[in-house]
Structure 1
């Protein structure tokens, strides 16, 4: 199962086989069934998680029982609760599988050691974090400034594969609109295009 992570890394940086062996040695392989939790609110998150196969969602549940999806993570992507990982405090979020999924987990201490021991790996991680920060900023901007239709069209343009893999109610949650609003927006958009 290490092959996809090795391919992902090799597409970004050049490492020696010894470096790959160090990474593979600390990998924990995990399979999740659809709807199975990777992280539940109240637990402390202790890993960096690479998705080999499948689709996960990162979300919280408000006081009214409404799910608020913060992000989706699919093949060749990463997920986890960075706040809980860095602070050691219990997570306020959940991560579960939307599809049957295969994951590679690397414990924080091992991941930090890889970053110290393999400078190119550390550079890759920093580049991923920087890109993630920019994506988060753009998402906040869209949430504040875009109409429901603009949010939906932006989502479909940025994530065409997710728009067909993710249930419509989850897309609505991610966009911060009701399922009824999403249905209306989709119909209006289909008429225009």
Structure 2
């Protein structure tokens, strides 16, 4: 990336330090921001009418996070994006990125690469859900986030794995893992 392109991106982003458990994009609202997560851990979840939360994904540093469906369709998001730990991130107005993409091929190419990475992540997650059992999904998560057991509550990990906290506890017991 050229210095000129980097400066253009820097002008449309703002660095933020955000406390744990802060919603960055809420269900029911039309999103217009995306975030580059620099440090910390975030999640995206669906909340049922009864208030039960279903974790869809966890985001680690150097992930682009945002309610892309809401942004693109200009419709309220069905999901909430929230910090799980204290986070450092860059906030970017999506419309400004789109405008820059129309003016600068380098930024447009970068945007395309980001979308490709997001697509591949979602495909990988779908493959995990349909081809792995709960123990394999847990081990895969531990490979990506070795300290996950010490970072967030067990019920959130279980929700991400599509199992109950009791099932997660049993899996941990068979693996001799005690957070």
Q: TM-score, normalised by structure 2?
A: 0.89
Q: Note if 1:109 corresponds to 2:91.
A: no
SS at match of 1:21: helix
Q: CA RMSD in A?
A: 1.8
27, 40, 53: which one aligns with 2:39: 53
Q: Show the counterpart of 2:50.
A: 64
Alpha-carbon distance in 1 for matches of 2:128, 2:6: 38
Q: Which runs of 5+ in 2 are unaligned?
A: none
CA deviation string 1:38-90 (max 9, x = no partner): 11111111012111232211111123322111112232211011100100000
The unaligned stretches of length 5 or more in structure 1 are 1-13
Match of 2:131 among 126, 130, 145: 145
Gap change, CA 1:162 and 1:125, over 3 Å in 2: farther
In structure 2, C-alpha distance between the alignment counterparts of 1:139 and 1:66, rounded to whole Å: 21
Q: 2:104 aligned to 118, 121, 131, which one?
A: 118
Maintained 8 Å contact 2:5/2:107? no
Q: Give the counterpart of 1:41 among 9, 15, 27.
A: 27
Check the 8 A contact 1:41/1:94 in 2, yes or no.
yes
TM-score w.r.t. length of structure 1: 0.83
C-alpha deviations, 1:85-137, integer Å up to 9, x for none?
A: 10000011111111122221111221112222332232222122212212212
What's the counterpart of residue 6 of structure 2? 20
